[in-house]
Amino acid sequence: MRVATSVAELDTLRTALLADSSPRPHLAFVPTMGALHEGHLSLVRLARGVADLVVMSIFVNPLQFGPNEDYARYPRTLEVDLARAEKAGVDVVFTPSVAEIYPAGRQVSVNAGPIGDLLEGASRPGHFDGVLTVVLKLLNIVRPDIAVFGRKDAQQLACIRRMVLDLNLETAVVGAPIIREADGLAMSSRNRFLSPSERASALVLNGALRAAEGATTPTEALAAAERVLAEAVVSGEVVLDYVTVVNAATMAAVPDDHTGPALAMVAAKVGTTRLIDNVELTFPEPDLGDGEAAPSDVG
C-alpha cells in the first residue's frame, strides 16, 4: 500500500498503478474522515470487488463542521487507520493536510441547494455545502470510475448523487449497506464518545426505526417510531432532533398516501454525541378488498 500526502504525489501514483490495470472499472474511491471501523472497511471490500485499484482518502474536513461542533475532538487515528486500510486491500491512501485541500485564497464552494437545507442541513447550517465542496474536490483529484459511500449518511448520499447528476460528473456513486454492531447500533466513528450508559440509551434509535418496519402508511410508521422513543426522550436520555419518513432521493417527507420505498430517519443527541440512523421501508398499495373498484376504474 502507498500513502500520498499531496495532490502531486497522488497523481504520480495513480498514473503508475493504472498502467497495469485490467479492462474492469479501473479505480474505486472510498472517501473517509478516518477513525476507521468495520463500516468503512465494508466499503473497501465492496470497492475491491468491482475495481482493479482502490484509493481511500483520510481527511477530516473542517468545512462540514459548524462553529460549535466537534471538529477539534473528532478522532484522528492515522497510524491505526493505515494498518486497517492496508489489511483491507486499499492500494493508495491519500492523507492531505487542510492547506493541501484548501489553499490560501480559496473562494469558490459548492452550494447543496434545497436538499441540503432539510433535516441535517436545518440542524447544521452549511454542513452539506462543506461536504459537497470536499467531495467534488476529491473526485476531481482522484478521478475515480466509482465512488463508494455508506447509506448510514443517507442525506449525504442523496446530496452527492444530486451533485453528480447536476454537474455532469462521470463518477458512478455506489451506496453501501449500513453495518451495525451485534446489538443493532449503527457503526460510527463517534460511538467511541458514548459512555456505557449512553451506549445503552443509543440503542433506542435503531429500536424506533425497527418499530416502523411493517407499517402500512408513513403516519403509522412515524407513530410506531415515536412510541419507542418517547420514554428515552421524556427521561432526557435522548435529545431528539428529528424522526421522519422521507423520499430517499429528495429527503422530503412523504405524504400519507405514499406507496413504495421510503426511508425512516432519526437524529438525536445521546449525552454530547450526535447520532443518526435510518432504515429502508416499503409501503404497500392499499388493499381495496374484493369487488371494490380502484378509483381509476370508476367514471
Q: Which residues contact 216 (CB under 8 A, 6 or more apart)?
A: 283, 284
Strand partners, 263: 246, 280
Cell numbers found for residue 152: 448510514
Concatenate the DSSP letters of all residues of 55-82 into one string.
EEEE---GGGS-TTSSTTTS---HHHHH
User: Which residue ranges are tagged as binding site for (R)-pantoate?
Assistant: 64, 156
User: Which residue ranges are tagged as binding site?
Assistant: 33-40, 64, 150-153, 156, 179, 187-190
Contact in structure between 32 and 57 (CB atoms under 8 Å): yes
d(CA 118, CA 156): 11
**Which one-letter DSSP state was computed for residue 248?**
T
Strand partners, 92: 2, 55
Spell out where 1-49 has E strands.
Answer: 2-4, 27-32
d(CA 248, CA 1): 36
d(CA 44, CA 89): 7
Residues assigned a catalytic role: 40
Contact in structure between 33 and 134 (CB atoms under 8 Å): no
d(CA 109, CA 140): 14
User: Which residue ranges are tagged as binding site for ATP?
Assistant: 33-40, 150-153, 179, 187-190
Q: Which residue has the cell 433535516?
A: 119
d(CA 108, CA 167): 15
Q: Which residues contact 239 (CB under 8 A, 6 or more apart)?
A: 233, 268, 269, 270
Contact in structure between 281 and 215 (CB atoms under 8 Å): yes
